Structure 1
Amino acid sequence: MASNPGSDTALGTQKSMLSGSPRTKKLPLTEQEIFYMNCRAAYLTIFKSSLENIISKDQLYLALQHAGRNPSQKTINKYWTPQTAKLNFDDFCIILSKEKPTSKAELLKSFKQLDVNDDGSILHSDLHKYLTKRGEKMTQEEVNAVINLADVNANGKFDYIKFCKLYMTTSEQCLKTTLERLEADSKLRRQQFGSHMEGSPERDPSPAPKPSPRIIRKDDQETFLSKGDSSHSLLSTTRKFKTSISFTITMSANSNQDSKLTEPNLKDWQCAQSKGCFFLEEDGEVISHQYKMHVPQRSVLYLTIRPLNLSQIEGKHSPWLSVDTALYILKENEDQAEPQLMCFTELQNREVFGWTGELGPGIYWLIPSTTGCRLKKEIKPVTEEAQLVCRDETGELFLTSEFRSTLSEIFEVIDLDGNGLISLEEYNFFELRTSGEKCDEDAWAVCRENFDTKKNELTRQGFMDLHLMEANDREGDPLDLWVTLHSMGYNKALQLTEACPFVINIYAERCKPRIKAVHMEACSGQLERAICRSVLDRSDAKVMDGYENIIVHTCSYDTWITSIIENKSDDKVIIHINNELSKNCVNNRGLNIFAVEVAPRSTMVCQHVMPLDERQEWIYYCVYSLIS
C-alpha cells in the first residue's frame, strides 16, 4: 500500500517526539513507519483494537480527524457508499494514504486566486460560489460552517490568512495529541495493529531461515521464533494465538534462472492481438480489461501477455515495464454456471509471460492479472505540476508538447486493436474510465463532424483536438484534463505510475483466433476463484494443528509466490500473517504484518510475494497464526 508521510511540519513534529526512544537512536524511523504510527494513533483514539471495524460514517469522520485530516461530506461518501457495511484498519490506512494533509502554502495559494483586492480576504459571495461550484464541491451546510467561524469572518469577508493558520494549528494539534497518547501508553505501543505492528524489535541481519526443508516443522518453528528478542515474544504478549504454521521457500535470482518459456516456430501460425491496461483505483483495487477469445477448431495455441512498451520521451521513466502480468484462460460451458479454468501464463521470458498448449473449439474468457506487488500507489506526492496548456502571442490556447506526448501515449493504450484509430467501442472504454459514462451514437456522430476521423474512427490528431476543445471550453482551466490524466494513471509530473498498459498476443497453428475486449472490471470475483483454483491444484498445503478445516496453501512459481487460505468450517476465522523474517521480499499488501478475515466455507487469496531485487536470492518465510 502506498504511504503518505503527510506535511513536512507534521513529519518534523513526529520525528522530534520520537527522538528520545531507544529504537530511534539506533535506527531512525522512515517516513513510511511514521505514516503507520499516525494511522495507529488515530485508530486507537476511536477503537480499543485494530481488529475492530469502522461501522459508521461518524466513526470514519472522527478517525480521519484524529489523523490530522479534515474531510468533507463528499470525501466521506466516497469511501462510505450505500453498499459499505464496515471498514477495517487496512482500509483506513489506504484512505489516509489517499487523503493527503493540505499544506499551509497550498491553502494560501488556493484562496489567493479569489483575493481580487490582494488584502488577505474574500467576499462571502465569492467564497460561496468557489466552494460550491469548483473542485470538490462543498454542501451549503459546510460552506455556512466556514462563513460562521467568528475568528475569521467580519463585515461580509472571509480572512483566509487567519483561517489557514487556524486550520493548520488545529490539524497539527489533533495529530500531536493522538501521538502523545500512543507514546505515553506502553501497552498501546506494543499492541499489534491490523496490517502493521509498532515497535518491531531490531534484528541481527545475519541469521536467516535455512533454505530447507521447504516447510518447517512446528518444533523447528517454535525454536526459531523464540531466539533472542524476536517478534514472537512481543506478539505473544498482545494477541492469543490458537495455533501457528510456517512456510519457508528460497528462490534463486532470476538472472541465474534459465527461461522456461520457449516460443514455438510461428512462421505459418495465425495471430490475433489486443491491448489493455491495469488501473489502480483510489482504494488500491486493480481493474482491467477482460476479453473473450473464439477458437474455431482444435489447435495448438501460444498465448503471451507483457507490459506495453509505449513510445517514450528520451529519459522519461517507465515504471510500469517492471510490473508482472499474467493471463488466466477459462472456457465457457453451457452446462456449467462457472467457466472452467484451463490454464494460465505462468512461464516467463524477461517481461513476457506465456503458455503453449492445445485448446478445443469454443469461447474462452481471458482474464488479465497482476499480483499488485509492483503496481502500487505512489509513496511520495509530486510537488511540481506539469503545464498542460499555454497561450500563444495571439491569445490562442494550445497543448504543450509534454501534454501532447502524454495524450499520444493514452491514444496508444486505448487503441485496443492497434490499427492507429479509435472506434466508438474503444473510445467508450476510455470514457467509462475517465467519466463513468458512455458516448452514444448521436454524440459520436457530432464527434466525427468536428474532429478528424477515418473510416468512422477517431484519428490521433482528432483525439488531440478533442482535448484542446475541452481546454477551450474551460477557458484554459486544466482541471478536467487532470481528471482524465489521473484516471488514466498519470501523476502531476505526467508520469504513468498508477497504471500498467499491456498487450496480449494469441497465435494458433491451425485456425484464426479472435479476441475482443468485453468488460473493464475489478480484478476480483472470477479472477480470485481462478487464482485459488490454480494454487489448489499444485500447492504445498499445511493444516492448522488441531483445526483440520483451516488450511494454508502456498505455491511458488518462477518469479512469485502466492498463498491462499481455505476455511472449510462453518465459522469465520481471523488469520494473523507475519512476513518479518522474509528476505528481499515485497508483497501485494505492502506490509509485513497483517490480519485477514476468512468467511465460512470459502477460499481467499492471502498474499502474493515477489523479490525486491530480482538479481539477488530471496527467501520467503511466513508464519500464519489462528487468532483466538
Structure 2
Amino acid sequence: MANNFGASLLNQKYASNERQESKKSQLNEEEIFYLKSRAAYLTVFKSSLENITKKEQLRLVLQRAGQNPSNKILNKYWTSRTKELNFDDFCAILKNEKPATKSELLKAFKKIDTNNKGYILHNNLYEILTTQGEKMSQEEVNSVLNLADVNSNGKFDYNKFCNTFFVTCEQCAVTASDKMGSNSKIKQQQFGSHIEKLNERAVTPSSKSSPRTPKSSDSDASLRKGEYKSSRPSLSRNYKATVPIMINMGIPSTRIAKLTEPTNLKDWHFTSSRGCFFLEENGDIISHHFKMQVPQKNTIYLTIKPLNLSKDEGGPSPWMSVDTAFYILKENNERVESPLISFAELRNGETYLWKGELGAGVYWLIPFTTGCRLKKNKKQIIRETKLVYRNGKEDLILTPEFKSTLSDLFDIIDLDGNGLLSLEEYNFFEMRTSGEKCDDEAWEICKENFETKRNELTKQGFLDLNLMEANDREGDPSDLWVTLQSMGYNKELEMTEACPFIFEIYSEKCKAKVQAVSLESTNKRLQGAICKSIMVNGDAQAVDGYEDVIIYTYKNDSRISSAVENKSENKVTIQVNHEQSKNCISNRGLQVFAVELQPKSSMVCQHVMPLNERQEWTYNCVQTVLA
C-alpha cells in the first residue's frame, strides 16, 4: 500500500540501482535491465511465454521488478480492450515510464509541508490525498497513516517514509533476482553470467557450415573472413551456440521495384477497397481483413499503399512512411490453416505490389505492416484541441479542426470510396470505437434523422451525427475523444497510432470482387503465413551443435525478417541481440530480447527496417541458444 501512496504523489516509477551507475556502457545496462526484468517476470509466471491476463497480475509483476505502478499507469496499459500482455509488453512498460527519484518524492511532500517542518499533519494529508490529483481511497490513506515507523502523534514523517519506500522497491527487485539465481531451472533462462564477466569482449567463433543451409548469405562471406566481432561478453560456459548474421544494405529510397505494371493496365477490370491499421494499447496491430473472389482463372495486379488524406497541397499525411504490404492466402474450409499463395515483397516508393495468376476461387487478402514504424507515440501534448464551441445563440458548433478530422475519418471508413457509408461500413467504425454494432432498427432511425443517399449516410450526415452526440452530452467532449483516440488520434487531432491504406486490384479477364469481412489482430492465419514465407524464401542456418534449431533470415529491398524453427523434442530459449546494427529500427523496439520455442514449433523473431531511408543500413544480429 505504501507503493500506491508514493505513486499518487509522483505518478512515476522507481528505477533500479543500475540507473545510478552512469559509468557503465549502454550495452551492460541493457543486459542488466533484461536480467532484472526476466527475474521479476519469472517470480510471477512459470515461463516468459506466459501472458499477463489480469490488471492485478500487471501490478504484481511491476512491483516484483521494484517498480511503483499507480492506478493511472495501470489504466494506461490495461484498458477496457486489453485482453493480455506478453513479456515484451512488460519490458516496454518498464522502459516507457520515466523513473522517479527520492529527491522528486521529497520535493512533492515539501510542496505540502510549506513550513519545512519535516512532517505533515494527518488531517491535512488525508484531505489532499483523497481530493486532489490521482485520488486515493480512504482505506489506502489509512493504511499509510497506520504505519508505525513513519507516524506518531498525528504526524506523518515523510523523510522516514521516503527511505522506507525506496528500500522496499529495491528489495523487491533484489528478491526477484535472488530467487531466479537460486532456481536452476529459471537460471537457464538468464542472459548469461553477467556478474563475473561483464567487461570482457571476445570474438565469436564462426559457425561451421551445415548441410541444412540451402544457400549462402551475405553474412557467410564475412564470417569466413573472420570479420565479425561479438557484441557480447565471453560467456562460453553459459552460452551453447551462436549464429551471427551481418547484412549490409543500400539506400532503399533509391530502389525501384523490378515488377512493372502491364502496358494495357487501363483496359483491365478495376476495383479497390480501403482499410486501416490500428495500434492497440498493448502494441498489437489490428486491421481490416478482406476476401477476394476471382470468378475464373485470371492474371491479377495488386497494389497497396497508405491513403494520403493531407489537406495541405502537395503535403503527405504523417503516416505515409508506414510500410503497408499484404499476404494472399487461399480460403480452405477443410483446414484450419489457409495455404499461403504469395506475398507482396516488391516496392515502389510507398506502394507494395504483386502480379500473378490466380485460379477461380476465394482468397484472403491480409494487410501486413511490420510494426517498425507504427508504434506508440510518446509526444508530449502541449494543448488539447477544442472540438466544439457555442455561438452567439448558444448553439453547439463543431470547430473547423474537428470538422476537418471528421471528414478524414469519413474517408477512412468509407471502404469502397463511393462517398457514402453503408451499414456494413459504419459498423466497422462502431465496432472499433464502441465495441457494438448498429442494428437495422437503429440504422433506420439514423437515416430518418440524418442526410442519406441511396440508403447510405452522407458525409454531412456523419458530421451531424457527431454534433448530435456532442449535444447529448451538453458539449462535454469526453465521448468524442474516446472515438477519436480509438481511431488513432491524439489530443492535438494528429493521427499518430493508425495508418489508413488503399488496395487497388486490376484483373485482366474479368472483375474480381473484394470485400472487407473482419477487423482483427495479427492472428494465427497471418502469423503462420509470415513465418512460412520467411522460412521458404530466406537463408537458413542450422545452429552449430544444435542442428534441429534453424535460424532463417529473409531480406528484400526494404526489410529484413528473421524466424527460428525448433525441430527438437525440447524447449529452446534463444537470445536475439542486434545492438551493433546501424540505422535500424525493429518492430519489437528492443535491441536485446529472448524468445522461447516449444518443441516442434517455429516463430517470427523480429522485423527490421532502416530508420532513415536516405542512408545505408547494416543488420548485425547475434542469435544465441542459451544454456
For Structure 1 versus Structure 2, the TM-score category normalised by the shorter chain is 0.7 to 0.9
Secondary structure class of the residue paired with 1:385: coil
Matching of residues 502-521 of structure 1 within 5 Å = 502-521=501-520
- Give the Å deviation of 1:92: 1.3
Q: State the alpha-carbon separation in 1 of the partners of residues 557 and 251 from structure 2.
A: 10
Alignment match, 1:225: 229
Q: State the alpha-carbon separation in 2 of the partners of residues 460 and 73 from structure 1.
A: 37
Q: Which amino acid aligns with 1:252?
A: G
Q: Structure 2 length normalisation: TM-score?
A: 0.77
Structure 1: where are the runs of 5+ without partners?
1-5, 108-119, 153-161
Alignment match, 1:256: 254
Matching of residues 550-565 of structure 1 within 5 Å = 550-565=549-564
- Give the Å deviation of 1:79: 7.4
Please state if 1:458 is matched with 2:454.
no
Secondary structure class of the residue paired with 2:518: strand
Deviations 1:525-560 (A, max 9, x none): 111111122122221000111212111111111110
Q: State the alpha-carbon separation in 1 of the partners of residues 363 and 162 from structure 2.
A: 53
Matching of residues 371-410 of structure 1 within 5 Å = 371-410=370-409
Larger CA deviation: 383-392 vs 413-422: 383-392
- Give the Å deviation of 1:8: 13
Q: State the alpha-carbon separation in 1 of the partners of residues 336 and 321 from structure 2.
A: 36
- Give the Å deviation of 1:198: 10
Secondary structure class of the residue paired with 2:529: helix
Alignment match, 1:61: 59
Among 245, 248, 256, the alignment partner of 1:247 is 245
Alignment match, 1:145: 139
Alignment match, 1:435: 434
Q: Which amino acid aligns with 2:22?
A: S
CA contact (8 A) 1:196 1:592 kept: no
Among 216, 219, 222, the alignment partner of 1:215 is 219
Matching of residues 393-542 of structure 1 within 5 Å = 393-542=392-541
Larger CA deviation: 471-480 vs 308-317: 308-317
Q: State the alpha-carbon separation in 2 of the partners of residues 500 and 515 from structure 1.
A: 20
- Give the Å deviation of 1:597: 1.2
Alignment match, 1:111: none
Alignment match, 2:90: 92
Alignment match, 2:119: none
CA contact (8 A) 2:371 2:587 kept: yes
1:407 to 1:316, Cα distance in 2 relative to 1, 3 A: farther
CA contact (8 A) 2:77 2:282 kept: no
- Give the Å deviation of 1:261: 3.3
Please state if 1:70 is matched with 2:70.
yes
- Give the Å deviation of 1:571: 2.4
CA contact (8 A) 2:82 2:281 kept: no
Alignment match, 2:565: 566
Q: State the alpha-carbon separation in 1 of the partners of residues 525 and 445 from structure 2.
A: 38
Secondary structure class of the residue paired with 2:484: helix
Q: Structure 1 length normalisation: TM-score?
A: 0.77
Q: State the alpha-carbon separation in 2 of the partners of residues 496 and 549 from structure 1.
A: 45
Secondary structure class of the residue paired with 2:448: helix
Structure 2: where are the runs of 5+ without partners?
1-6, 109-123, 147-154, 182-186, 207-215
CA contact (8 A) 1:69 1:100 kept: no
Give me the CA root mean square deviation: 4.8
Alignment match, 1:117: none
Secondary structure class of the residue paired with 2:371: coil
Alignment match, 1:157: none
Q: State the alpha-carbon separation in 2 of the partners of residues 474 and 101 from structure 1.
A: 38
1:198 to 1:51, Cα distance in 2 relative to 1, 3 A: farther
Q: Which amino acid aligns with 2:219?
A: I
- Give the Å deviation of 1:311: 3.4
Q: Which amino acid aligns with 1:432?
A: M
Secondary structure class of the residue paired with 1:619: strand
Q: State the alpha-carbon separation in 1 of the partners of residues 45 and 194 from structure 2.
A: 12
Q: State the alpha-carbon separation in 1 of the partners of residues 169 and 188 from structure 2.
A: 17
Q: State the alpha-carbon separation in 2 of the partners of residues 221 and 263 from structure 1.
A: 42
Q: Which amino acid aligns with 1:70?
A: S
- Give the Å deviation of 1:232: 2.8
CA contact (8 A) 1:424 1:444 kept: yes
Matching of residues 22-171 of structure 1 within 5 Å = 22-23=23-24, 53=48, 60-65=58-63, 66-71=66-71, 75=75, 78=78, 89-96=87-94, 143-145=137-139
Q: Which amino acid aligns with 1:68?
A: N
1:183 to 1:78, Cα distance in 2 relative to 1, 3 A: closer
- Give the Å deviation of 1:404: 1.0
Q: Which amino acid aligns with 1:67?
A: Q
1:195 to 1:71, Cα distance in 2 relative to 1, 3 A: farther
CA contact (8 A) 2:275 2:413 kept: yes
Larger CA deviation: 268-277 vs 13-22: 13-22
Matching of residues 277-296 of structure 1 within 5 Å = 277-296=276-295
Q: State the alpha-carbon separation in 1 of the partners of residues 362 and 467 from structure 2.
A: 41
Q: State the alpha-carbon separation in 1 of the partners of residues 298 and 176 from structure 2.
A: 67
Q: State the alpha-carbon separation in 1 of the partners of residues 193 and 46 from structure 2.
A: 13
Secondary structure class of the residue paired with 2:602: strand
Larger CA deviation: 485-494 vs 314-323: 314-323
1:178 to 1:380, Cα distance in 2 relative to 1, 3 A: farther
Q: State the alpha-carbon separation in 2 of the partners of residues 316 and 39 from structure 1.
A: 41
Q: Which amino acid aligns with 2:479?
A: D
Q: Which amino acid aligns with 2:561?
A: T
Deviations 1:95-124 (A, max 9, x none): 4578889999xx9xxxxxxxxxxxx99999
**Aligned-residue identity in percent:** 47
CA contact (8 A) 2:16 2:173 kept: no
Alignment match, 2:303: 304
1:8 to 1:348, Cα distance in 2 relative to 1, 3 A: farther
Matching of residues 535-614 of structure 1 within 5 Å = 535-614=534-613
Q: State the alpha-carbon separation in 1 of the partners of residues 356 and 53 from structure 2.
A: 51
Larger CA deviation: 91-100 vs 594-603: 91-100
1:404 to 1:245, Cα distance in 2 relative to 1, 3 A: same
Q: Which amino acid aligns with 1:232?
A: P
